Structure 1
């Protein structure tokens, strides 16, 4: 435990330090991520001083259960919050370590970060803010670390000052200040904090940069931290422009239903195609994959013969081409859906589809027995009244429905589950018994599909 000294009675929080906190967006509830270390302890005191009267301030401590003093740190956070009259929420997380080893290139650091942010996302409610105590030196370390990993403009933009997180927003109000400034203020205020022993171990990449590399570079270039932060802001601006351009291109090539037109994509340069895919993949919540030769990947994806099935795999998803479209397909296979009754005033929602049963202008009798299900195998469809029926599998192929989509399309049946009649296939086809201005049954089935 480290004490900053005796708090001078005349100590007052600097206006420059208070301004980023007082300028936070309106929110009735503010969370402070409290690790127990110097930076987060100062931030907690600062937030209590600046907005403790106007907002509900609460702290959250993530116990990763990795360090020998993890429980000591948790107790310290509880005692600190109790002394300040601030409610504390503690989340204990389990950090998976592959093979029982802590890798120095990502490994436990990345796993702990993922577990931490996942806990934060689950905690935040709509309109709430989460404040984290990252400062300018943290930003410089992040930029240098990502540079060494070969990151592009997006990575070199560093940590954003604010971004959406779960149902709330994440803010970093201390990014404009250096580690030395924060240390000086904490000592002047007489604050007490816990030193994390893992911060001294250079087996972790960031600690190696912090203790061995950055001091050496800073001795040669004293303004290094400011320069790296300036570069991060410049890269952030370039990333904003790239995203704006990608949205323009997306509007011209997107076809809804999570797909892009190959013909229109071929009108873009390789750089524009890559930028569009990066924006699209990131927007859908996935990490953009590292690829050694994008020219080859894009050639395969967009220009290979029609009988081939090109694919770009990422973490949790794949990009696939099918009949002139590029699709973003999640890895999770669709699960069979139990049969559900479709009743008036009780719509059924299945993935992007929404189905409702409504009376026509002149309903005939009570609501018919309608149920919603997905494919089980062996279904047949009769697209034209009185015409021949054909296997649903073959009909879906004729409609050019991608293979990975066929198992999750909702099917609409009339009659009992054992021998009902198929009267609808997603938003692709619906029997005239239940559509049109005057459906034969007097009841209409409305099928809508949400498109991006």
Structure 2
């Protein structure tokens, strides 16, 4: 659907609020995140007037004593507006972090489950929210990426999130909502200064605004400047990746070592984020990256993060995700994809159509136990698997988890595949002597 909306129906709303709603990005289905509070209640009213096909999404965190009443009010508002409402009740687990972070994670998981391909989710964040975000991140020691604040738009897995009122103050929204008699529900937690954001909102921001009129615009300007710097950092990393990276997702040390300390940090941070991981807490990036580059050949330096590590082997740096590998051996059955660390394995009939599911061979997958020897041709000599892997340049951390595939023939095991590095001609190529094809793929394939 092309964004645009019903301009006639929306004309009773002020231009500064209505304009951004009439100029949305293209979307398939339009949604409004509807909490029942002031900001989202006003947003839903304006959007519903301009885009009658909008749908509302209410996330009930079940944290406040009035959450049942709030959900009921949201249903009543949507019924009066003729807006379809999708309610999601979530459970918030704050054991591993603060309640605010846990609630946000649960909320976004619900967003991801609802927002479909090409959908657009509107959120009612405003200029005060942006200022609080920038100050909060500054107090946490964030860099330019964090100080850029909330982006106006960003990907939301299959769809996109959009904040049309990010440049409008909360005072303006309160003024319009009060004049128009828009009902809303107050969240009791918003008045408690136990939460850091509430402390900033109630005790810090008013004093700053008194001292420096135009505070919101000043902070917004700084946030935009940081966003521009972050965009340039990202562009530089992409350009340097073209020179330092290779087609296997590794960093070539000879190229990487020629970069300055700041360029190395920028590239590595971009590399980590591009793979979906959070940056580790490193106090001295220059020292850590220098060790990765200059450590003696017999050392095994690494940078450890949450769910991954960066390791060096020979002339490359590798970003290595943490993986779980089945213990013992697993039988590979027809029609089932077996996940094995970084790899997936499947057994499928060959193209000649002569195989049946009842005639498939017994295939087992396991890991190295030590002392394995492999015969790469039917009548050829056997070779030490350990030596062969070293010759192939397989990194040491991959060797213990590499899936070794064997076929049970005449009462004994016969190796037919070593990860995605080698597959016997019985299960590959055009002959498919076994009548079956073995497919072994890495995640990056």
What TM bracket, shorter-length normalisation? 0.7 to 0.9
TM-score calculated relative to the size of structure 2 = 0.86
Unpaired stretches in structure 2, ≥5 consecutive residues: 1-9
Q: Which residue of 1 aligns with 2:144?
A: 153
Instruction: Work out whether residues 368 and 399 of structure 2, in 8 Å CA contact, stay in contact via their aligned partners in 1.
Output: no
Task: Find the aligned partners of 1:169 and 1:11 in 2 and give their Cα distance.
Answer: 26
Instruction: Work out whether residues 348 and 356 of structure 1, in 8 Å CA contact, stay in contact via their aligned partners in 2.
Output: no
Q: Which residue of 2 aligns with 1:181?
A: 172
Unpaired stretches in structure 1, ≥5 consecutive residues: 1-9, 100-105
Instruction: Work out whether residues 372 and 410 of structure 1, in 8 Å CA contact, stay in contact via their aligned partners in 2.
Output: no
Residue 26 of structure 2 corresponds to residue 67 of structure 1: no
Q: Which residue of 2 aligns with 1:102?
A: none
Question: How far 1:151 moved relative to its partner?
Answer: 0.7
Counterpart selection for 2:297 from 306, 328, 331: 306
When structure 1 is superposed on structure 2, of 298-307 and 375-384 the one drifting more is 375-384
Counterpart selection for 2:84 from 75, 84, 87: 87
Q: Which residue of 2 aligns with 1:103?
A: none
Question: How far 1:339 moved relative to its partner?
Answer: 2.5
Q: Which residue of 1 aligns with 2:49?
A: 49
Instruction: Work out whether residues 349 and 355 of structure 2, in 8 Å CA contact, stay in contact via their aligned partners in 1.
Output: no
Counterpart selection for 2:285 from 290, 294, 316: 294
Kindly tell me: are residues 334 and 167 of structure 1, through their superposed partners in 2, closer, same or farther at Cα, counting changes over 3 Å?
A: farther
Residue 95 of structure 2 corresponds to residue 98 of structure 1: yes
Instruction: Note the 1:100-249 alignment, pairs <5 A.
Output: 107-249=98-240
When structure 1 is superposed on structure 2, of 392-401 and 83-92 the one drifting more is 392-401
Q: Which residue of 2 aligns with 1:6?
A: none
Question: How far 1:40 moved relative to its partner?
Answer: 0.7
Residue 415 of structure 2 corresponds to residue 422 of structure 1: yes
Q: Which residue of 2 aligns with 1:405?
A: 398
Q: 1:59 aligns to what SS in structure 2?
A: strand
Q: 2:319 aligns to what SS in structure 1?
A: strand
Q: Which residue of 2 aligns with 1:36?
A: 36
Q: 2:227 aligns to what SS in structure 1?
A: helix
Kindly tell me: are residues 64 and 430 of structure 1, through their superposed partners in 2, closer, same or farther at Cα, counting changes over 3 Å?
A: same
Task: Find the aligned partners of 1:108 and 1:441 in 2 and give their Cα distance.
Answer: 57
Task: Find the aligned partners of 1:324 and 1:207 in 2 and give their Cα distance.
Answer: 50
Instruction: Note the 1:339-378 alignment, pairs <5 A.
Output: 339-341=331-333, 369=361, 371=363, 373-375=365-367, 377=369
Task: Find the aligned partners of 2:133 and 2:284 in 1 and give their Cα distance.
Answer: 26
Instruction: Work out whether residues 11 and 188 of structure 1, in 8 Å CA contact, stay in contact via their aligned partners in 2.
Output: no
Q: 1:280 aligns to what SS in structure 2?
A: helix
Task: Find the aligned partners of 1:17 and 1:31 in 2 and give their Cα distance.
Answer: 17
Task: Find the aligned partners of 2:243 and 2:410 in 1 and give their Cα distance.
Answer: 44
Deviations 1:199-226 (A, max 9, x none): 1111111111111111111111111100
Q: Which residue of 1 aligns with 2:15?
A: 15
Higher relative contact order (CA 8 A, sep 6+): 1
Q: Which residue of 2 aligns with 1:76?
A: 73
Instruction: Note the 1:299-338 alignment, pairs <5 A.
Output: 299-335=290-326, 338=330
Task: Find the aligned partners of 2:323 and 2:441 in 1 and give their Cα distance.
Answer: 23
Task: Find the aligned partners of 2:246 and 2:181 in 1 and give their Cα distance.
Answer: 60
Deviations 1:280-310 (A, max 9, x none): 1111111112211111111122211222221
Deviations 1:36-90 (A, max 9, x none): 11001111111111111xx4x2222222222222222222212222222222222
Q: 1:36 aligns to what SS in structure 2?
A: coil
Instruction: Work out whether residues 332 and 346 of structure 2, in 8 Å CA contact, stay in contact via their aligned partners in 1.
Output: no
TM-score calculated relative to the size of structure 1 = 0.85
Instruction: Work out whether residues 381 and 391 of structure 1, in 8 Å CA contact, stay in contact via their aligned partners in 2.
Output: yes
* Root mean square deviation, CA, Å: 3.1
Kindly tell me: are residues 444 and 352 of structure 1, through their superposed partners in 2, closer, same or farther at Cα, counting changes over 3 Å?
A: closer
Task: Find the aligned partners of 1:375 and 1:91 in 2 and give their Cα distance.
Answer: 43
Q: 1:98 aligns to what SS in structure 2?
A: coil
Counterpart selection for 2:376 from 365, 369, 383: 383
Task: Find the aligned partners of 1:121 and 1:406 in 2 and give their Cα distance.
Answer: 36
Q: 1:192 aligns to what SS in structure 2?
A: coil
